[in-house]
Amino acid sequence: MPSTTYLVTVSGPDRQGVGAQLFEALSAVPNGGCVMNDVAQITIRDTLVLCVEVSVASSISPDELARIVREHGVATAGIDVSVTVVEPGDFQNGKRLMVTLLAPNVSSADLELIFSAIAASDATCERIVHLASYPVDCYELIVRGSNHDRLREALTSAATQSGLDLAVQRAGLHRRAKHLVVMDADSTLLQDEVIDLLAKACGCEHEVSLITEAAMAGEIDFAEALRQRVALLKGLPVSVLDEVRSQLRLSPGARTLIRTLQRLGYVAAVVSGGFVEVLEPLLQDLGVDLLAANHLEIVDGVLTGHLASAVVDRAGKARALRQFAELTGVPLEQTVAVGDGANDIDMISAAGLGIAFNAKPVVKEHADAALSVPYLDAVLYFLGISREEIEAD
């Protein structure tokens, strides 16, 4: 029997039972009933919009279908019912992408730029959800389009123009699957640089700073710079490590990020160019068991100025990410890497989702998403976790 596709929209003040009445009405459609193709609902400030796409016998007109729905008591207490024909050409081609955008405040002007970019890419937004209103404003959009490269480019340009942080990912259930989230330590999980605190305790801040600047300028590589800086720590008593650890400050939102990941069954790990002897006790307190970092050589309670292990450098961080993924049974495409420095680039590039956290431009160029807000738990929004879920514990 020939059929026609309709969109049934119910809107108005929300009340209990309206959904049950609507689906009862659709079940009562004569001539073979109706086939339900899709359902979507949103309620904002007690105002309901419920849409159902159905296919019914072509002999049933839009007015007839609307009458059937109204007869089942749906259109009461100010609720409106409308039925429109869905033409074959109305179906949007292409696959869905998940677009997450955030800033201290997202304005209507910001959203105008984003939605203009979507329209200019021959794409359409199917859903928008407000994930958080504090400490940052965050929205998640489901966007459908056929040219994802063009869409990503347009969205990135719009986000840059408006100052929004942006992540564009493929949509799907994989976002709620088990994830491995790997973080850098210095200036990511921590506000501090451990080597600088050790240098201050040793009285060699200036020398360490000069080596760091040379490494940043590309004059020496990370591994050599690390060896030179560690050499300056020779003779430092091991007790200083405890003193430095007590000075470390977690980034805002770090505890919330790790606690939420653990509660939801995700795995948190740290891969750092810092030192196990300083980081390990801190991470044990946070409940993080997976750590890859450098080992300091200690003899008779004193630092020798040498490393006791291979250097965890740029390549070493990416290698550790893959090893942790294999260890935890998480596919590489479901890993998340968060970092701020050039030695995080390989790790960020290898992960399924690479996030540059308050990072230098060169790092952002290699990342899938960038965060410029100081809150590390904003990483959770890129996993589709709302503020309400974060605070559920």
Catalytic one of 110, 137, 165, 186: 186
* Cβ neighbours for 61, distance < 8 A, ≥ 6 positions apart: none
Catalytic one of 110, 184, 344, 368: 184
3-state secondary structure the chain: CCEEEEEEEEEEECCCCHHHHHHHHHHCCCCCCEEEEEEEEEEECCEEEEEEEEEEECCCCHHHHHHHHHHCCCCCCCCEEEEEECCHHHCCCCEEEEEEEEECCCCHHHHHHHHHHHHHCCCEEEEEEEEECCCCEEEEEEEEECCHHHHHHHHHHHHHHHCCEEEEEECCHHHHCCCEEEECHHHHHECCCHHHHHHHHHCCHHHHHHHHHHHHCCCCCHHHHHHHHHHCCCCCECHHHHHHHHHCCECCCHHHHHHHHHHCCCEEEEEEEEEHHHHHHHHHHHCCCEEEEECEEEECCEEEEEECCCCCCHHHHHHHHHHHHHHHCCCHHHEEEEECCHHHHHHHHHCCEEEEECCCHHHHCCCCEEECCCCHHHHHHHHCCCHHHHCCC
| HSE value, Cβ hemisphere, 13 Å, CA-based, for 130 | 13
Q: Is 184 a catalytic residue?
A: yes
Q: Which of 279, 211, 269 is nearest to 241 (CA)?
A: 279
User: Would you name the residues annotated as active-site residues?
Assistant: 184, 186
